[in-house]
């Protein structure tokens, strides 16, 4: 959530940032928020003034009663009753205005970092680097949705019977590959200094608002309405919310957490090759890395996290590229996002497998996640997260890029985790 002080003091910068995102009616929306803020502050001032007058008169009543001036004291009591009623009315107005202001602030996305390129869609994203050679496959090479049927390692029909489309059943060597990747990613995170956590996969409404999934992605999340809990779209939500309403001692920074969870997203479901097989699912596994750090160190941290994720892809021997997302393709809460894409040779296209983002103070402001600077003043921290990594498209690329007529070779780094070197 954007800070009101920034909206007031850097209005033009905020509007320019929203325009970079192609946010509709940016100037009008910001003006409406500032108008609500001005009305709220005016009502607050009037309320405080009434309270002060009432308190002052109450003290006078005590003195008058002590001096025996009962008639004058009773007159003052009438005044305080009227003042309290006026203050109550203003307090109700203030509550309404605060709720309206909060709702309006929730609708504004984060402001892009100055390095974010202009653009409206994925076609305008900037390629930062590309690594690895794209393999040449043998004649008759298959896309992964045919390979999983050939080797009977993932079953979409069974998942559809049990639940519905987008909920595959992993079995045999497919299940072992899933487990191997999860353990490999977690072990690598521990080596890099991350602390492993295993959070709940259901979160309350406050957690959804804390990291910005609500209200922005309300319709894309599975909602258990009886208890008003949400199935998580990513481990970012519960892990970052571990620090909601916290003042973190500076000596404990940076906070580095990693966690594996299943993830649930309702938005999957369009037709075509882009969503076939493992390309887009309603449920999938992911290892997430999250950092909380000082503002002056967050962009250095973002580069460090990007390099770490690239290191995982290199160890898996997958060709990949890094994109800096343009304003029109960025997530709602992000100030700067790098996407990592692996090349799927059988499909002949790039598949996104990770997003690594700096949210600056946007989440921390919602979470009230703070620290005290050298002068003792409370300041907001910066939060970052990255997929390290999401499994479905990693599995798709491993299967497609490593297929041979005799079977599918597994990356060497996974051999100790798998107990086999080839799917056949």
Please return the burial class of 169, using the count of CB atoms within 10 Å of its CB with bins 0-12, 13-18 and 19+. middle
Separation CA 83–CA 81 (nearest Å): 5
- For range 202-215, the mean pLDDT: 97
354 is in an annotated binding site: yes
Separation CA 386–CA 188 (nearest Å): 14
Please say if the pLDDT value at position 59 is more than 80. no
For 14, 213, 266, 284, the CA distances from 163, given in Å and listed in that order, are 44, 24, 13, 14
- For range 201-211, the mean pLDDT: 98
User: Percent of the chain at pLDDT above 90?
Assistant: 87
39 is in an annotated binding site: no
Tell me the domain boundaries of the chain.
4-106, 122-423
55 is in an annotated binding site: no
For 309, 338, 367, 394, the CA distances from 354, given in Å and listed in that order, are 8, 8, 24, 10
User: Percent of the chain at pLDDT above 70?
Assistant: 97
CB proximity list for 22: less than 8 A, separation 6 or greater: 120, 327, 328
Contact by Cβ (8 Å): 7, 34: yes
Per-residue pLDDT tens for 284-336?
999 999 999 999 999 999 999 999 999 999 999 999 999 999 999 999 999 99
Please say if the pLDDT value at position 69 is more than 90. no
267 is in an annotated binding site: yes
234 is in an annotated binding site: yes
For 50, 55, 248, the CA distances from 83, given in Å and listed in that order, are 6, 10, 42
Fold of 4-106: Helix Hairpins (1.10.287)
Query: How many CA atoms does the CB half-sphere of 294 hold within 13 Å?
Result: 10
Handedness of CA 5, 7, 11, 15 (dihedral sign): positive
Contact by Cβ (8 Å): 365, 3: yes
Please say if the pLDDT value at position 248 is more than 70. yes
CB proximity list for 338: less than 8 A, separation 6 or greater: 128, 302, 306, 322, 323, 324, 325, 355, 356, 357
- For range 165-169, the mean pLDDT: 95
304 is in an annotated binding site: no
Per DSSP bridges, beta strands 255-264 and 195-196 are parallel
Query: How many CA atoms does the CB half-sphere of 55 hold within 13 Å?
Result: 6
Q: List b or e across 21-34, with b for residues whose CB sees 16 or more CB atoms inside 10 angstroms.
A: bebeebeebbeebb
Q: Report domain 122-423's class.
A: alpha beta
15 is in an annotated binding site: no
Give the pLDDT score at 85.
87
| DSSP string computed for 374-423 | TTS-EEE-EEEEEEEEEHHHHHHHHHHHTEETTEEEPPGGGHHHHS-SEE
257 is in an annotated binding site: no
Model confidence pTM above 0.95: no
Please return the burial class of 259, using the count of CB atoms within 10 Å of its CB with bins 0-12, 13-18 and 19+. buried
Give the pLDDT score at 272.
53
349 is in an annotated binding site: no
pLDDT band at 54; cut points 50, 70, 90: confident
Phi, psi at residue 97, to the nearest 5°? -65, -40
352 is in an annotated binding site: yes
SS3 state of residue 130:
strand
- For range 239-251, the mean pLDDT: 98
Contact by Cβ (8 Å): 333, 212: yes
- Average pLDDT of the chain is 94
Residue indicated by tokens 């977690």: 186
Which tokens sit at 412? Answer: 């060497």
pLDDT band at 274; cut points 50, 70, 90: low
């Amino acid at each position: 959530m954007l800070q009101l002080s920034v909206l007031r003091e850097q209005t033009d910068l905020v509007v320019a940032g929203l325009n970079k995102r192609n946010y509709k009616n940016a100037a009008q929306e910001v003006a409406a928020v500032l108008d609500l803020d001005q009305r709220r502050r005016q009502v607050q001032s009037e309320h405080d003034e009434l309270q002060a007058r009432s308190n002052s008169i109450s003290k006078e009543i005590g003195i008058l009663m002590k001096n025996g001036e009962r008639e004058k004291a009773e007159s003052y009591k009438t005044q305080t009753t009227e003042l309290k009623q006026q203050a109550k009315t203003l307090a109700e107005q203030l509550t309404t205005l605060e709720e309206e202001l909060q709702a309006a602030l929730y609708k504004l996305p984060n402001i892009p970092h100055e390095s974010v390129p202009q653009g409206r869609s994925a076609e305008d994203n900037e390629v930062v680097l590309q690594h690895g050679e794209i393999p040449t496959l043998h004649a008759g090479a298959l896309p992964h949705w045919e390979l999983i049927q050939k080797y009977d390692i993932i079953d979409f029909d069974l998942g559809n019977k049990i639940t519905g489309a987008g909920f595959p059943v992993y079995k045999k060597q497919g299940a072992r590959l899933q487990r191997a990747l999860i353990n490999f990613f977690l072990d690598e995170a521990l080596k890099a200094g991350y602390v492993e956590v295993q959070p709940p996969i259901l979160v309350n409404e406050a957690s959804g608002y804390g990291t910005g999934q609500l209200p922005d992605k309300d319709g894309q999340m599975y909602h258990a309405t009886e208890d008003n809990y949400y199935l998580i779209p990513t481990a970012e939500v519960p892990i970052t919310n571990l620090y909601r309403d916290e003042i973190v001692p500076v000596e404990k920074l940076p906070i580095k957490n990693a966690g594996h969870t299943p993830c649930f997203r309702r938005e999957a479901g369009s037709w075509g090759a882009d969503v076939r097989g493992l390309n887009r699912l309603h449920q999938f596994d992911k290892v997430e890395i999250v950092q909380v750090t000082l503002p002056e160190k967050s962009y250095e941290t973002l580069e460090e996290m990007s390099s770490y994720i690239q290191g995982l892809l290199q160890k898996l021997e997958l060709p990949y590229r890094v994109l800096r997302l343009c304003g029109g393709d960025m997530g709602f809460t992000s100030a700067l996002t790098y996407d990592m894409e692996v090349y799927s040779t059988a499909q002949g296209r790039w598949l996104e497998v990770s997003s690594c983002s700096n949210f600056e103070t946007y989440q921390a402001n919602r979470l009230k996640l703070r620290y005290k600077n050298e002068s003792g003043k409370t300041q907001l921290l910066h939060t970052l997260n990255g997929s390290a990594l999401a499994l479905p498209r990693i599995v798709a690329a491993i299967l497609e890029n490593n297929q041979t007529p005799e079977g599918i070779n597994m990356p060497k780094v996974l051999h100790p985790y798998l107990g086999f070197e080839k799917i056949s």
